[in-house]
């Protein structure tokens, strides 16, 4: 079933145009396979549109604004009133052709698509001509253009901006970006501005050459009610405002002023008037802007390469978030970026070190202006990146939540961020211990969680065994973590060396990537282990690999803050052995649903041998482990805990 569409037609003194074009709209609505509605928003016109037309078109919702505010305000009101997840903005002088709604809606099925524009035919004989709205930069100056794209195209094509007069949008994304910026009223550039912000956060905009509409320019509101000179003034004013808002940094301001002066002196009276009006209105783009969007949450992270448990936990949070709209800012690029974007999460990677301060601060301010977050949720550790956002949040009165995932202390820097934070989420008592002495209620424990649908007991895949060169009958002992020194891979290999003579067919699986790999591979080539240790590198099919294992080991030699892979292994119904310190003490009941061992090769090898020798015993421990995760570490429980923290932050501002 196609997603529901709200067709929104802003109009101003356009009664006669609507009489002509609404029947075509209603015919197309009747052809559409999904739910739909038509909303006409009368922008304070004097021609009786809202009074006379409801009788002629009883299935259309007519809304009258008492004050004429321009296209942005009128379209925004329609989007807010819309009942469906897709909104099709349509000028009142557009003629639709059959199949337009179905084609445009079909292109909005992917999560990272923000908008899709129809082919707008402006004159007879141009039906086969295609034009793409594109952004570009030349000599450091921003440009936009509508560029010919050849002819005869039939597939959707990516471009940079869509016309607000014949394009379909994701309503939720439209709302997340704060709608059209009404400071561009009465018309021009509100659609470019919205699309520029969408593209800046990684959302895609498409053009459908096979979805054809006809635009009768002779009847447009602009030409009918504004002189050509005044239209030109508004266009140039909003062009300069667009540049100031979206493309100009402190370093680039002199170049912008030089360019604006050149355009003004060579462009005539309308150019001069537009520039002067932009200078008068420009400060409003930075001060006293629209209010915060309470459902927008700005997530921050400093990603590892390859991604660690903190990044995977954040991915689980944002892709299952309900009732809030996530935006993500990363302090640098990461291979996990594509996974966030595939979920439709708007994302921006920025340089955020101390050496990047001149670029970092303007980027931060632009992010806060664009997202207007109700709160900030920081998933990064004690970094300059975290500190600057925490300070900016405090100065702007935005609640700042610090999700702390490490047990080690970081001295004064950590205490400073903790004092700036509104709330601190810790993942275990081991992490909470370092924040003792802070105000009661500021530190809240929310355990990490596991997606119980993704991680569950499954039959081992023969194809995966074949890929890894594993004999069907061989026992597999696995460790899943980044290859960092404190994660205990050397301890794992020492235990493997002890158990290998007793179970010569057993294989040892090391899943993950990191700085210790070369050293560990050298150890794995030593006598007693040669040919028995498999290094897979970074993998995404963790659940499938865990289901190959007989036993999973988490042999950290320092206290784990939590131990995400422990609960993933338990969710797969596997017996897990972890060292007896830190977070695992809160996860495993020793001997009942897993095992806690001292960080010694003999102790770990002894438990592995016990489990390999008694398959029924191992299965019973694994079954108890699965039940434990269902009871204590379900993703829904984690999200409920986060929502409670979010609500307390929202209430603290009231």
116 beta partners = 168, 206
Torsion of CA 348, 353, 358, 360, to 10 degrees: 20
Whether 296-449+639-652 and 462-633 share one fold: the answer is yes
Q: Which of 172-176, 466-470, 584-588, 630-634 has the lowest mean pLDDT?
A: 466-470
**Model pTM above 0.85:** yes
Structure-model confidence comparison of residues 440 and 445, the more confident one: 445
Whole-angstrom distance, CA of residue 57 vs CA of residue 82: 18
pLDDT for residue 125 is more than 80: no
Domain ranges for the chain: 5-223, 227-285, 296-449+639-652, 462-633
Give SS3 for 563: coil
Structure-model confidence comparison of residues 151 and 463, the more confident one: 463
Structure-model confidence comparison of residues 123 and 114, the more confident one: 114
For the chain, the average pLDDT equals: 91
Architecture of domain 5-223: Alpha-Beta Complex (3.90)
Q: Which of 436-440, 519-523, 598-602, 639-643 has the lowest mean pLDDT?
A: 436-440
Distances (CA, A) of 589 to 585, 605, 626: 8, 19, 13
Largest CA distance in the chain: 92
Q: Which of 109-118, 133-142, 334-343, 441-450 has the lowest mean pLDDT?
A: 133-142
Q: Which of 11-15, 305-309, 335-339, 432-436 has the lowest mean pLDDT?
A: 305-309
Q: How confident is the model at residue 287 (pLDDT cuts 50, 70, 90)?
A: low
The CATH classification of domain 462-633, taken from the options 3.90.190.20, 3.40.50.2000, 3.90.1150.10, 3.40.190.10 = 3.40.50.2000
* pLDDT of res. 640: 95
pLDDT tens string 369-390: 899 999 999 999 999 999 999 9
Structure-model confidence comparison of residues 152 and 161, the more confident one: 161
pLDDT for residue 411 is more than 80: yes
* pLDDT of res. 586: 95
Query: Domain 296-449+639-652 belongs to what topology?
Result: Rossmann fold (3.40.50)
pLDDT tens string 552-599: 999 999 999 999 999 999 999 999 999 999 999 999 999 999 999 999
Mean pLDDT for 208-220 is 79
Q: How many CA atoms lie within 13 A of 170 on its CB side?
A: 21
Neighbour count for residue 648 (Cβ, 10 Å) = 15
- C-alpha of 395 from chain center: 25
Q: How confident is the model at residue 122 (pLDDT cuts 50, 70, 90)?
A: confident
Token duo for residue 131:
């034009």
Give SS3 for 503: coil
pLDDT for residue 223 is more than 70: no
Q: How confident is the model at residue 138 (pLDDT cuts 50, 70, 90)?
A: confident
Mean pLDDT for 221-246 is 83
pLDDT for residue 2 is more than 60: yes
3-class SS shares of the chain: helix, strand, coil, % to 5: 45, 20, 35
What is 22-65 written as a DSSP string?
HHHHHHHHHH-SS-EEEEEEEES-SS-HHHHHHHH-TTSEEEEE
pLDDT for residue 216 is more than 70: no
* pLDDT of res. 259: 74
- C-alpha of 393 from chain center: 20
- C-alpha of 581 from chain center: 35
pLDDT tens string 519-549: 999 999 999 999 999 999 999 899 999 999 9
* pLDDT of res. 104: 97
* pLDDT of res. 220: 58
pLDDT for residue 109 is more than 80: yes
Structure-model confidence comparison of residues 352 and 250, the more confident one: 352
């Amino acid at each position: 079933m196609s997603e529901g569409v709200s067709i929104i037609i802003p109009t101003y003194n356009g009664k006669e145009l609507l009489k002509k074009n609404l029947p075509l709209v209603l015919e197309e609505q009747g052809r559409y396979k999904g739910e739909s509605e038509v909303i006409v928003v009368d922008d304070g016109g004097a021609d009786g549109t809202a009074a006379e037309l409801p009788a002629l078109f009883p299935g259309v919702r007519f809304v009258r604004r008492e004050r004429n505010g321009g296209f942005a305000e009128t379209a925004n009101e329609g989007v807010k009133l819309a009942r469906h997840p897709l909104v099709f903005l349509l000028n009142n002088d557009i003629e639709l052709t059959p199949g337009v709604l179905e084609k445009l809606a079909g292109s909005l099925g992917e999560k990272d698509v923000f908008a899709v524009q129809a082919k707008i035919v402006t004159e007879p004989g141009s039906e086969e001509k295609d034009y793409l709205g594109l952004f570009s930069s030349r000599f450091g100056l921003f440009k936009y253009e509508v560029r010919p794209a050849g002819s005869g195209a039939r597939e959707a094509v990516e471009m940079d901006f869509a016309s607000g007069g014949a394009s379909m949008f994701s309503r939720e994304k439209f709302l997340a970006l704060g709608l059209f910026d009404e400071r561009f009223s009465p018309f021009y550039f509100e659609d470019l501005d919205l699309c520029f912000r969408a593209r800046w956060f990684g959302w895609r905009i498409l053009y459908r050459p096979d979805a054809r509409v006809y635009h009768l320019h002779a009847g447009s509101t602009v030409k009918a009610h504004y002189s050509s000179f005044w239209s030109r003034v508004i266009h140039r004013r909003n062009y300069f405002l667009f540049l100031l808002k979206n493309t100009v940094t402190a370093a680039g301001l002199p170049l912008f002023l030089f360019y604006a002066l050149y355009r003004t002196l060579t462009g005539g009276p309308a150019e001069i008037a537009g520039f002067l009006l932009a200078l008068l209105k420009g400060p409003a783009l930075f001060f006293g802007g629209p209010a915060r969007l309470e459902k927008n949450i700005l997530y921050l992270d400093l990603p590892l390469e390859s991604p660690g448990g903190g990044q995977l936990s954040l991915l689980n949070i944002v892709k299952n978030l309900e009732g809030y709209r996530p935006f993500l800012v990363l302090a640098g690029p990461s291979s996990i970026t594509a996974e966030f974007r595939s979920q439709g999460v708007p994302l921006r990677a920025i340089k955020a070190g101390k050496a990047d301060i001149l670029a970092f601060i303007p980027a931060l301010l632009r992010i806060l202006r664009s997202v207007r977050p109700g709160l900030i949720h920081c998933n990064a550790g004690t970094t300059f990146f975290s500190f600057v956002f925490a300070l900016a949040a405090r100065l702007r009165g935005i609640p700042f939540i610090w999700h702390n995932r490490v047990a080690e202390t970081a001295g004064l820097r950590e205490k400073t961020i903790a004092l700036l934070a509104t709330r601190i989420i810790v993942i275990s008592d081991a992490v909470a211990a370092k924040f003792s002495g802070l105000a009661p209620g500021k530190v809240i424990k929310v355990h990490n969680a596991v997606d119980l649908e993704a991680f569950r007991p499954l039959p081992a895949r023969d194809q995966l065994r074949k890929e890894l060169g594993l004999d069907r009958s061989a026992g597999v002992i696995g460790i899943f973590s980044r290859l960092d020194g404190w994660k205990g891979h050397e301890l794992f290999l020492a235990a493997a060396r002890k158990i290998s003579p007793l179970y010569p067919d057993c294989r040892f699986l090391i899943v993950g990537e990191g700085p210790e790999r070369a050293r560990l591979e050298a150890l794995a080539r030593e006598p007693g282990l040669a040919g028995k240790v498999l290094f897979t590198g970074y993998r995404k099919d963790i659940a499938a690999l865990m289901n190959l294992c007989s036993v999973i080991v988490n042999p950290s030699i320092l206290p784990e803050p939590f131990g995400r892979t422990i609960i993933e292994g338990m969710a797969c119904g596997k017996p897990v052995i972890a060292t007896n310190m830190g977070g695992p003490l809160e996860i495993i009941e020793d001997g009942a649903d897993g095992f806690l061992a001292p960080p010694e090769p003999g102790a770990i090898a002894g438990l592995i041998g016990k489990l390999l020798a008694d398959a029924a015993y191992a299965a019973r421990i694994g079954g108890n482990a699965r039940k434990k995760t269902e009871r204590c570490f379900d993703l829904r429980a984690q999200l409920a805990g986060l929502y409670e923290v979010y609500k307390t932050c929202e209430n603290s501002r009231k």
